């Protein structure tokens, strides 16, 4: 949750978390990733904007409150199923 934009390979869950041009950039073409990295190095304001958005995404998706809520919901559903 450091507040840096994410630039990475479009694999696993990254395409579901990263919105290109909003909180980072994912692609499978190394040349495109290099281009995006160079753009971010040249444009500190854009890097800061994407980084802040990435930080918000991380806080929303990966915070402890959401984690606990997911587990509570799962455990409730499992225990309810055993009583039906």
Write down the pTM of the prediction. 0.74
pLDDT per position as a tens digit, 14-31: 999 999 999 999 999 999
Which pLDDT band holds residue 82 (cuts at 50, 70, 90)? Answer: low
Domain ranges across the chain? 6-82
Six-digit token string for 61: 């998706």
Q: Higher model confidence: residue 54 or residue 66?
A: 54
Cα 21 to Cα 29: distance, rounded to the nearest angstrom: 16
């Amino acid at each position: 949750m450091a507040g840096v934009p994410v630039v990475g390979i479009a694999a696993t869950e990254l395409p579901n978390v990263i919105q290109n041009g909003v909180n980072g950039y994912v692609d499978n073409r190394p040349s495109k990733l290099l281009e995006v990295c160079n753009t971010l190095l040249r444009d500190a304001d854009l890097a800061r904007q994407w980084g802040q958005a990435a930080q918000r995404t991380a806080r929303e998706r990966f915070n402890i409150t959401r984690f606990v809520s997911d587990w509570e919901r799962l455990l409730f559903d499992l225990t309810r199923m055993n009583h039906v």
